Amino acid sequence: MSLEIKKRKAVRAEPRIRWWKLNEDEYSRKFREEVSQVLGDKIEDRWETISEVVRQKAKKVLGVTSGRRKEDKETWWWNEEVQESISKKKRAKMKWDRQMDEESKQEYKEMQSTAKKEVAKAKDRAYEKLYEKLDSREGEKDLYRLARQRDRAGRDLLRENALK
């Protein structure tokens, strides 16, 4: 018996303007100043011009998000080795961001490669254990439970039932 687990597709998202920062006095004051400098008292301007200026100044004053959506990641296979490897990679990345030299870049690339290998090994070991468990007699219940979960996850939440 073989069981394949599908990979999730990456969710694409665009950077967003941090409009919520307008609730803070400092940002709202600075934003008003920036917009009024560009527009002045020209009320007869077209809406497109005004909205474009507002968006540009909001990006400048408030900033934008990274554009990455936070999504649930599978971490059931995560272990201490992976955690340590990822934290080393993050420290190397921060060091490279600060120093911007070739040596720290090379160190980061090595840590990135090592972390990727550690993650692959940990996933492989975890999936091997899962497959061994599912192939056993006791794991048969888990197999049906896993199939039921996958079926429910694939259902359309917005599906409407026909009314009689």
Answer yes or no: is 102 within a domain.
yes
pLDDT for the residue numbered 70: 65
Range of the domain at 138: 80-154
Same domain for 84 and 146, yes or no, is yes
- Report the mean per-residue pLDDT for the chain: 81
pLDDT for residue 146 is more than 70: yes
The half-sphere exposure of 142 on its side-chain side, counting CA atoms within 13 A, is: 12
Q: Which two tokens stand for residue 160?
A: 């409407």
pLDDT for residue 164 is more than 50: no
Residues 86, 115: contact at Cβ < 8 Å?
Answer: yes
Answer yes or no: is 85 within a domain.
yes
Answer yes or no: is 11 within a domain.
no
Which pLDDT tens digit goes with each residue over 33-91? 887 777 766 656 567 777 888 888 888 888 887 777 666 677 888 899 999 999 999 99
Helices of type H across the chain: 25-39, 47-62, 80-99, 102-135, 139-154
Answer yes or no: is 68 within a domain.
no
Same domain for 52 and 92, yes or no, is no
Question: Distance of CA 151 to CAs 130, 144, 145, 148, 156, Å?
Answer: 19, 10, 10, 5, 10
pLDDT for the residue numbered 109: 95
Which pLDDT tens digit goes with each residue over 75-134? 888 899 999 999 999 999 999 888 989 999 999 999 999 999 999 999 999 989 888 887
Answer yes or no: is 44 within a domain.
yes
CA distance 143 to 128: 14
* Number of domains within the chain: 2
Answer yes or no: is 51 within a domain.
yes
| Amino acid identity, position 59 | K
